[in-house]
Amino acid sequence: MKTMRGPGLFLAQFAGDQAPFSDWQGITGWAAGLGYAGVQVPSGDSRLFDLDLAVTSASWRDEFLGQAQAHGIAVTELSSHLQGQLVAVHPAYDAAFDAFAPAALRGDPRARQDWAVDQVAKTIRASAALGLTAMATFSGALAWPYLYPWPQRAPGLVETAFDELAKRWRPLLDLAEDHGVDICFEIHPGEDLHDGITFEMFLDRVGQHPRANMLYDPSHYLLQQLDYLQNIDIYHDRIKMFHVKDAEFNPTGRQGVYGGYQNWVERAGRFRSPGDGQVDFKGIFSKLAQYDYEGWAVVEWECALKHPEDGAREGAAFVRDHIIRVTPHAFDDFAAGAIDQAAVNKALGL
């Protein structure tokens, strides 16, 4: 068995324009001071990362990694969540997602998509150049507006949407194979890959591609009322990344899973800081240890109530206390003896 690595911290929710969150040197020093051993880096945030130089410049990569290592921080993975979202956008979301693209591309969905595909490809290449073996992303969505089966969907609509999604991602998966990088899709509402069934629909269309894998985040499963422990039993071979994010679901006589258009504070289901919600993390860490997950446990802080810096501080200790250092031998080895085939045969009456 293998012991997972951690604690790590996803920096997307913490990068900002004020020190120490405004540059790479400052934010890695801050994370180290909280007890983190690694950070997951959003590849599109120019305050922390230069994607073009990461692909083209060995000296830039050396300096980037060296500054983190000076604080005792490893880079766990790169993230292309926002760029991956733009690989597939239903027109209903054009205006909302235009903000993720450069200003010059807004209002031009095709140019935005081409840019996003190029960004994901660069993040794959940068990951390999940095010695990383996994990249986090979103799948994007074409079918999401039709999630609920009313009004009746046109025959073939979902199938066509997934055919197109697979067509857009297959070249990127092949590129990832060439570079030894797993693409880890965060299974997430708002994406066409939002549960196990939709992930399987995608896998079928990309030929069970070995680089199509999962970023496991139990908070999104709890809010869907999906069995997040059984999910590990089913998909452990595809789980290559892990976000430690908590959530709670408290339905009432007025609202349930859909949330009644309420804001995050008022929803029946909402994200919480690690340890403040209902996710069974002892069960999750045990399952992942059982199945030899050897990647990072990365805190993704999202909470409608708690201050982010408190969530980050508490999250480092939370992960450290939950990581299971796996045993190097069976607990009952003390009672084991050498194999005596004659004794075995006698015990079996052979």
Please report, for the chain, the start and end positions of each structural domain, with discontinuous segments joined by +. 5-347
Q: Residue 270: beta bridge partners? A: 248
What pLDDT shows up at residue 347?
Answer: 85
Query: Does residue 334 carry a pLDDT above 70?
Result: no
Query: Does residue 336 carry a pLDDT above 90?
Result: no
Is 4 in contact with 29 (CB distance < 8 Å)? no
What pLDDT shows up at residue 331?
Answer: 66
Residue type, 73: I
Q: Does domain 5-347 have CATH number 3.20.20.150?
A: yes
Query: Does residue 27 carry a pLDDT above 70?
Result: yes
Query: Does residue 181 carry a pLDDT above 90?
Result: yes
Query: Does residue 284 carry a pLDDT above 70?
Result: yes
Q: Which pair of tokens denotes residue 14?
A: 């913490």
Average per-residue pLDDT in the chain?
A: 96
Banded pLDDT at 339 (limits 50, 70, 90): confident
Is 73 in contact with 36 (CB distance < 8 Å)? yes
Query: Does residue 332 carry a pLDDT above 70?
Result: no
How far apart CA 228 and CA 219 sit, in angstroms, is 9
pTM reported for the whole predicted model? 0.95
